[in-house]
Amino acid sequence: MNIGEAQHESAIILQPDGRLDQDSAAEFQERLVQAVSGGAQAVIVDFSKIPYISSVGLRAIMIAAKQSKADGVSLSVAQLVPTVNEIFEISRFNYVVTIFESLREAVAAVSEEALKAFEAS
């Protein structure tokens, strides 16, 4: 699996490409947990190039979500293709991570959160 990475302000954007299944989940999980624990305020995963996710892929997200809560990091996903979105809804992962229709919406929400945190301090 190829996992691209970009940074926008205090957020890391991961862009995996390919099926998220038994063959790729360990690599994805390692990179995702690394991003969550790396000091960013937010991690956004762009799912636009993920045509399929299996239970081990969902497990990788669950592990990263637990780590993000422990570290106080916002974890969200964006641009789910219809079949992956359906899997997220059926498995109720829409309650585990925040889902955005577009990457632009995810980045805007993260920027808004950062601004509110800055103003509160």
Q: Which helix (H) or strand (E) holds 2?
A: strand 2-8
- Identify the pLDDT of residue 114: 55
- Identify the pLDDT of residue 61: 96
Q: Is residue 82 helix, strand or coil?
A: helix
CB 105 within 8 A of CB 11: no
Say if residue 115's pLDDT is above 80: no
Q: Identify the weakest region by mean pLDDT among 21-25, 50-54, 104-108.
A: 104-108
Rounded mean pLDDT, 98-111? 92
- Identify the pLDDT of residue 39: 86
Based on the structure, what is the number of domains in the chain?
Answer: 1
Assigned token pair, 97:
């991570």
Assigned token pair, 89:
């809804």
Give the domain CATH number at 63.
3.30.750.24
Q: Is residue 40 helix, strand or coil?
A: coil
In terms of residue numbers, what domain contains 39?
2-120
DSSP 87: H
